[in-house]
A and B are shown apart, each in its own frame.
Chain A
Amino acid sequence: MERTLPKPKGIVIFGFLLPGILINLFIIVIPLILAIYFSLYKFTGGIMGDFVGLSNYAQLVKDGKFWNSFKNNLVITGLSIVGQLGFAFVLAIVLQSKWVKFREFHRTVIFLPVVLPAVVVGFVWTLMYNKDYGILNKLLSSIGLSSWIQPWLDDPGIVLYSVTAPIIWQFIGLYLIIFMSAIQNISSEIYEVAEIDGATGLRKAIYITLPMLADTIKVALMLCIAGNMKIFDNIFVMTGGGPGDSSTVMAQYAYNVSFGQFRLGYGSAVSIGMIILSLLLVLVIRRLMGGTNR
């Protein structure tokens, strides 16, 4: 930072930041410490059992179901990066073009799913996927693609993709707005210069818009990863993690262990493991991208 304001006393800064710190301590830090504490005990059925040290974690490392759920998170995250960020990016560029009709309408409407609660999204999509009444299968058969009709939420081979679609659908709008804002902030002079040099729509997107948006894209990527590593509600409503474990994500697994089997000690270990993995992933990706400006 090249220039700074006259810096207030440390105590003043601290005073202003205190409410935020306190509330964070109360809702996140202390409960997290408690959760770590629980994870060192055999805590089943409402009463603290024996201290078991790190054995819950030893079990976690060997727990195939946990790693399977982590894998599912990775798949969903990967698909979301392509589907949410990629699609939103394309839409953002297309929506800049004058020849697109109803631009205002599209911008407004594509953001609408963002305001819906995840539970409602899951509920609605479950019915869209319904074999007999679902709009998806009706649509497919009406355009002559009956052979594409699938038991969308029943086949373990495709269920993970089926539950990812609504997640992508819901959040395209958020990233669309973020990208559009960033694009509009790119100075129009740059484009004009490029056009004089003969750059066309597609090339402008690749050689100007993409690099100019690099920082924004990195931020969006982090938001996308953070959101998808803890995804729960949509999938919980749609499949409950089934059939079998085929669409179980880490948060669902932690929920199953804690509230389904009522093993709170191990459940806490699963939650902590989940936070560690998410954090690692975020850090690794940041490192790979060379970090943002901080």
Chain B
Amino acid sequence: MKQNTVIPNVFKGLFNIVLLLVSVACVFPILWILYSSLKTHQEFSLSILSLPTSFHFENYVTVFWEAKLYQYFLNSVFLGVVATILTIMIGFVSGYFLARFQFRGRNALYAMFLFGMLIPVYGLLVPVFIEYKYVGFLDNRFSLVLPAVTFALPIVIFLIESFVKSIPLEIEEASYVDGTNIFTSLIKIVYPMCRPIISTCIILSFLNVWNEFPFSLILISSQELKTLPVGLTNFVGQYSVNYPQLMSGINVAVLPVIAVYLAMHKRIIQGMVAGAVKG
């Protein structure tokens, strides 16, 4: 690429500055939550933006142990892992079949899966609650798995479907000629080829579960089974909010995801590049 000769250096400098500002705008709020969590409640009440005068790590000790955030944390991890695995399994298989085969009802089925993207969650809260009550599945360690999987499926099926379409057919054809059955071919041949897009699907579906609030609020009542987003509301009292503690809690919820993202981001971007979402 030879834009060097075309765009004046002034603009390049300007663009670089604008980009930096954009990036700073993206990181600053996270840093702000980070340092605010180390202030005392009174310090925070008097000035929202100032840096802490001394570091109060006890906010973390309080939220993690006394407010039992570790329990919510473990629950969220458990739920995140189970739901993500299920989402990927179901999404991978469904996406593959929708991409590779024409059958009656294929378009209707694809539309049904994507329809999930348009559903306003609060509109379904009461019906879902009544349904759960009826089948006796409320307040169970696995209660939240189903909605988590359901609402992550549309994007995952969508990504995998378009990815599979971009893979040439030859390799699979060869395996069928060799007499491999469809199940083995899915695991041994197709899955490895889909790895790049799978890592993107993993982070997206994990984020979806990790941050989910309304269903967690409604379907779970036992303190022992609560997840982080609902657990965090513990820091909001009836007539007062302890912001630094709330922020410590937010950090406990947000930092792991950021860490996972930073660890995986190269593969996620690779996955997106490999998948190159096309209609």
Please report A residues at the B interface, Cβ cutoff 8 Å.
Answer: 1, 3-8, 10, 12-13, 16-17, 19-21, 23-24, 26-32, 34-35, 38, 91, 94-102, 105-121, 123-125, 127-128, 130, 133, 135, 138, 169, 173, 177-178, 180-182, 184-185, 191, 195, 200-201, 215-216, 218-220, 223, 226-227, 229-230, 232-233, 250-251, 254-255, 258-259, 264, 267-268, 270-272, 274-275, 278-279, 282, 292-294
* B interface: dominant SS: helix
Selected from B32, B169, B274, B275, the residue in CB contact (under 8 A) with A3 is: B169
Convert B11-29 into 0s and 1s, putting 1 for each residue whose CB lies closer than 8 angstroms to a CB of A: 0100110011011011111
Assess A110 versus B26: contact at CB under 8 Å? Given A182-B278, A191-B1: yes
B161 to chain A, nearest CB (A): 10
Chain B residues near A294 (CB-CB < 8 A): 107, 279
A153 to chain B, nearest CB (A): 15
Interface residues of B in 73-125 (CB under 8 A from A): 89-91, 93-94, 97, 100-104, 107, 109, 112-113, 115-125
Q: Which of A16, A96, A118 has the most CB of B within 10 A?
A: A16
Q: Could you name 17 residue pairs across A and B whose Cβ atoms are closer than 8 Å?
A: A20-B91, A20-B94, A20-B153, A23-B146, A24-B116, A27-B147, A30-B127, A99-B3, A100-B12, A108-B265, A110-B22, A112-B30, A124-B32, A184-B276, A200-B6, A268-B126, A274-B120
**In the complex, are the beta carbons of A292 and B279 less than 8 A apart?**
yes
Assess A185 versus B213: contact at CB under 8 Å? Given A24-B150, A117-B253, A255-B122: no
Please report B residues at the A interface, Cβ cutoff 8 Å.
Answer: 1-4, 6-7, 12, 15-16, 19-20, 22-23, 25-30, 32-33, 47-49, 89-91, 93-94, 97, 100-104, 107, 109, 112-113, 115-128, 130-131, 146-147, 149-151, 153, 155, 157, 162, 169, 172-173, 176, 182, 203, 207, 210-211, 213, 229, 250, 253-254, 257-258, 261-262, 265, 268-269, 272-279
Chain A residues near B4 (CB-CB < 8 A): 98-99
**In the complex, are the beta carbons of B182 and A12 less than 8 A apart?**
yes
Per the bound structure, the CA–CA distance linking A173 and B204 in Å amounts to: 13
Chain A residues near B123 (CB-CB < 8 A): 35, 251, 254, 258, 267-268, 270-272, 274-275
**In the complex, are the beta carbons of B124 and A35 less than 8 A apart?**
yes
**In the complex, are the beta carbons of A233 and B120 less than 8 A apart?**
no
Q: Kindly report which residue of chain A lies nearest to residue B29, judged by CB atoms.
A: A124
**In the complex, are the beta carbons of B131 and A23 less than 8 A apart?**
no
Q: Kindly report which residue of chain B lies nearest to residue A289, judged by CB atoms.
A: B279
B169 to chain A, nearest CB (A): 6
Chain B residues near A26 (CB-CB < 8 A): 131, 146, 150
Chain A residues near B272 (CB-CB < 8 A): 177-178, 180-181
A206 to chain B, nearest CB (A): 14
New contact pairs (14) apart from A23-B150, A220-B277, A251-B123, CB-CB < 8 Å: A4-B102, A23-B146, A23-B153, A31-B131, A97-B1, A99-B16, A101-B16, A120-B33, A219-B278, A219-B279, A232-B122, A258-B122, A270-B123, A272-B123
* A interface: dominant SS: helix
Assess A216 versus B100: contact at CB under 8 Å? Given A112-B261, A120-B250: no
**In the complex, are the beta carbons of B169 and A180 less than 8 A apart?**
no
A40 to chain B, nearest CB (A): 13
Q: Kindly report which residue of chain A lies nearest to residue B5, judged by CB atoms.
A: A200
Per the bound structure, the CA–CA distance linking A124 and B32 in Å amounts to: 9
B236 to chain A, nearest CB (A): 11
Chain A residues near B275 (CB-CB < 8 A): 181
A139 to chain B, nearest CB (A): 10
Assess A119 versus B229: contact at CB under 8 Å? Given A108-B262, A254-B123: yes
**In the complex, are the beta carbons of A182 and B120 less than 8 A apart?**
no
